[in-house]
Amino acid sequence: MTYDVTLIHGDGIGPEITAQTVKVLEATGLRFHWDEELAGMAAVDATGTPLPDATVESIRKNALALKGPLTTPIGTGFRSVNVGLRKEFELFANVRPARSLVPGGRFENVDIILVRENLEGLYIGVEHFVQIGDDPRAVAESMAIVTRAGCERIIRYAFEYALKHGRKKVTIVHKANILKMVSGLFLEVGRGVAAEYAGRVEANDMIVDNTAMQLVMRPEQFDVMVTTNMFGDILSDEVSGLVGGLGLAPGANIGTKAAIFEAVHGSAPDIAGQGVANPSAQMLAAAMMLDHMGELDRAQRMRDAVADTIVRDNIRTRDLGGSASTEEFGRAVARRVA
């Protein structure tokens, strides 16, 4: 069987880390047909737009994409490619794992999956100014919109993820004590869904500010976390910080029409072309793609290979305290996968 996947190399270090990731994916023994498309600055240079129609059509056809980091042109009127893709393909679930890999950090027992609702809440961008007297911008108002259907979809996704991946607990993160409607609805729906999984997946709920504190005091108490859009945006970066930052942070955007997998970090143009970028996050994102495809054993082989290359082989790029090049790291992971 051959898997059809849209491949977006990305900007900056994107082509370097994506090339090594493709090498590791093919070392698993799976066969891929890579439909290579453009997005970001590379697409602007070639087509005049950061998200060409050909790229959108490719993802629509394949329903699966591996994407390198992109640069959104600043001050040009172009919309964010990531936001555009979320809306186009209803990518309602942003999934961010954080797992301790490198010994010697503050925490060595972190293994958290954060599931963030991706389409609702404050980030929908419904906002306006209110004029008072002669000042047309005297008051700014922003509206958070949360739907019962959206809450149920993301929370149920988190519980199903826990079942599929052998996770034991889901924590529902909210601010229902203050935001009694928009966050209260999320909590209400969450408790209802949790009751359906009683006896199979443990559940609890926690106010977001307490969650932020608990994460840096006892992160081992968390397993799968599910929350709304803005809280998820903030907490996902905090969780990544527990394990050394975004260099080891993969992400998945799962939707009703497609699934897109990517490294969470940016395109790092300052080191592009130097061969020193760490491809770990992109490789771990590719392992998440294999999970989504149902190739669970090969996905775990990839995760284990990345971890063993760093920890057992002590082959590390310079951001992890080593001297290996991007290509040397890629070759080492590919050897272990094969």
**Which of 244, 267, 228 lies closest to 118, judged by CA?**
228
Which of 35, 157, 161, 175 is the catalytic position?
175
In the set 205, 223, 233, 304, the catalytic residue is 233
Nearest to 197 by CA among 226, 220, 174: 226
Tell me which H or E stretch contains 123. Answer: strand 121-132
Q: How far is CA 61 from CA 261, 285, 286, 313, in A?
A: 16, 21, 19, 40
Catalytic one of 123, 157, 161, 197:
123
175 is catalytic: yes
Tokens standing for residue 238: 């905090």
- CA 243 remoteness from chain centre: 15
Burial tier of 135 (Cβ tally within 10 Å: 0-12, 13-18, 19+): exposed
Q: Is 97 helix (H, G, I), strand (E, B) or coil?
A: strand
Tokens of 262: 């990517």
Our CA angle for 206, 95, 315, nearest 5°, is 115
Q: 36: part of which helix (H) or strand (E)?
A: strand 31-37
Cβ–Cβ < 8 Å for 252, 54:
no
H/E run at residue 202: strand 202-207
| First vs last C-alpha separation in the chain | 18
Q: Which of 111, 223, 237, 304 is catalytic?
A: 237
Residue 141 and residue 149 in contact, taking contact as beta carbons nearer than 8 Å = no
Tell me if residue 53 is catalytic.
Answer: no
Query: Is 164 a residue of the active site?
Result: no
- Confirm whether 123 is a catalytic residue: yes
Active-site residue identified among 45, 61, 209, 257: 209
Is-catalytic flag, 223?
no
- Contact between 156 and 193 (Cβ < 8 Å): yes
Query: Which residues are catalytically annotated?
Result: 123, 175, 209, 233, 237
